[in-house]
Amino acid sequence: MATINPNTGKRQLYGRRIGRPLKSNQAERLDEGLARFGLTLETLEQLQAQRGDLASLFPGPVEEVWLEIGFGGGEHLAYQAAQNPKVGIIGAEFFANGVSSACGHLLRAGLDNARLLHGDGRELLDRLPAASLSRAFILHPDPWPKKRHHCRRIVNTEVLDILFKVMRPGAELRLATDHSSYKAWMLQKLLDHPGFDWTASSKQDWSQRPADWPQTRYEAKALREGRVPMVLSFRRRS
C-alpha cells in the first residue's frame, strides 16, 4: 500500500510484494500469466500521453472498462471477466502470490478480457484517463487496524478524489470490508465525499452481496471466523 510521505511529497509504498515464497509452479504461472495479461505503468503512461482509450489494452472489442484495486487471489476478477465478455477488466494487486493465483484463474478459463498490474493500485489510478471507468471495486482491502496506520488505508479522500476523476458519471463503486473499525471509516469517507451517492435503500443492501458478486475465499474465511462483511455500492455523481 502507499501514502504520501510528508517529508518528500512523494508516494511511499508499504508492505511486501511477496507473501509466502512462490513455489516453482506458481512462479511459472506468474510468468506465463503476466506475459499474456500483464500491464505496466509505462504502458498506461504512454496511453495517457497519446490520449488513448483503455479499450485498446484488450485484444477483442470491449464496450466498457472496470477496475479492481487489490484483487487478492483473483476469484472475483476472473468471475466478472467470465460473466462479462464485453467488459475489459483491469486489476491491480501488490502481492505476487495473488497475481499468480489470478493468472491461473484466467489461464484455465481461457479469458482475454483482463489485464493485471503487479503493483500498487494507487500508482495505476494516477495513470488512468478521465471518465474511463464504468465500475470500480475495492473489496476487503488491508484494514491497517492500528490507529497510527489509518493513513495507509486505501479508502481515503485522496483516492476517492482520483476515482471521481477516472469514473464516468453514473459509474458504480463497490466496496467491502469485514473489519469493524474500517466499516465505519469506509462508510464515513464515502458519505463525506461530494462526488458519490449511496445506493442503499434497506439493510439488505449493505449486508448481502448482489447476485453478480461472488463469494471469495477471503470472505468465506471471515464468515467462518464470525466476521460479517459489509458491502457497499455508491454511484459517481454527474
Active site residues: 142
Full strand arrangement of the beta sheet holding 114-118: 114-118, 87-93, 64-69, 133-139, 167-177, 230-236, 196-198
pLDDT, greater one: 204 or 104: 104
| pTM, full prediction | 0.91
Tens digit of each residue's pLDDT (9 = 90 or more) over 164-180: 999 999 999 999 999 99
- Output DSSP code: residue 84: -
Q: What are the domain boundaries of the chain? A: 15-236
Give yes or no for a contact between 1 and 13, defined as CB atoms under 8 angstroms apart.
Answer: yes
Whether the predicted pLDDT of 11 surpasses 90: no
Output helix, strand, coil percentages for the chain, rounded to the nearest 5: 40, 20, 35
Nearest to 91 by CA among 73, 71, 76: 71
Band of the pLDDT at 218, cuts 50, 70, 90? confident
* Secondary structure of residue 89 in the 3-state scheme: strand
pLDDT at 2 over 70: no
What does the pLDDT read at residue 1?
Answer: 43
- Architecture in CATH of 15-236: 3-Layer(aba) Sandwich (3.40)
Cα(92)–Cα(136) distance, rounded to whole angstroms?
11
